[in-house]
Chain A
Amino acid sequence: MTPSVSPQDVNAIRISKVSKQYGDYQVLKDIDAEVARGEVVVICGPSGSGKSTLIRTINRLEEINSGAISFDGQNIHAPMKTHDLNQLRSRIGFVFQNFNLFPHLSVVDNVSMSPVRVKGVARDIAHDKALLLLDRVGLVDKANAYPGQLSGGQQQRVAIARALAMEPPVMLFDEPTSALDPEMVGEVLAVMKSLAADGMTMLCVTHEMGFARDVADRIWFIDAGQIIEMATPEEFFTNPRHPRAQRFLADLRH
């Protein structure tokens, strides 16, 4: 599945001097980072470090207090018409920790509904496309089932298919396997790995260090609202520079 991106966009996502606070509490402090087209970035860090908040600011599910985040050349946090924001969002795929599938729609309808209603795709075309995507994530035989009848791992794979149905050039993952029983983590990570292998631009918040080591091009380590370290997996896992990163990795290995 090839991402559809205009060739002149070398950087798919650019985060410039982004800060966010809740009242007195500074959640994100002056974050500067870029994700290049086709790159896979893993964001990790201790809980409360702001990593979920950061990824949610990228499709503006969270607002920021200062700075800019540009996707595809456009600042997503600039004042804009709701319609334009919706259009921009439809081009950023987002996978939630809690899947958030629509329980009143069948699996195939979950995947096909938004291309029809948001992008105006013809219903039969969207339906066929949905079946193809479900096949891709290994769930085409569940097309007419309902989310409540699926396991957590199956639901998350449907959620990935649902996001892919909008043909986004970029996919964001917010702790996609954290809510799953351990035996189901593998099937979801397998789908994510195949997406990466196909060249999808991906930004993942995750604790799955095996995934990071195998697939990530870069790792951003966040603590207390700042990106403390940006490194390749090799550098990060064998030779973390920052003491807090060293401590984080040590805790993970216990």
Chain B
Amino acid sequence: MTGFDLSAILTNPEFVAMLLHGIEMTFVIAIGSWTLAMTLAILLLALRFSPGRFGNAFVAGYVSYHRNVPTLVQLMLWYFGIFTLLPDWLTYWLASHNAEAIFAIIGLGLCQAAYFSEDLRSGLRSVSPGQMEAARALGHGYISAMRFVMMPQGVRNALPPLINHSVSLFKNSSLGVVIGASELTHAVKEIENLSFRTFEIYLIGTLLYLFFSLLIMAGGAYVSMRADPATRARA
């Protein structure tokens, strides 16, 4: 409308409350799905290496599905599709417990688990096989060698793509708006509808996302640095 006026939004308690609620929801979705994704990724990795062909084939199929179907379509399939197939009692329970956020967490978590497990897998693969040989030569069993020699190095190698995908996961929380979750993007659109100050509220939303994304990237860089023995020795 008239002139650029951030205070029209920032001093309005109703809008600030909406923003804070949006941020809170974004974090709930992001942290919830991250935890789900990481846990699942480790299980998928274990399944990959399990004896027999089923484990490897299943994980390969799982990863293929989640990487080739757009994330938004996955969320739609969960919320508009699977939701309607559930038994009534479960539907009622979910509907009264913020179903949108729950399905966002499930959908995003399952999707990112595929990416995380592939990151861990390639991190592990890039550890030189001589390491395993050396561990076995010293008398380690398979699990012991994995635990003390291979995985620590594998995870360290996997940190850069893991951090990148974690930032992606955070940004993907915004997809929740399409299935009705009341996260930050949803709050931004609501405030825009009520205040007509499109530029200001978009700017605030953008800066908030940018701030948190950069925070995650910086945190990741710090973790990377601490994980690298060369830099840790110097610190």
Q: Do chains A and B touch in the complex (CB under 8 A)?
A: no
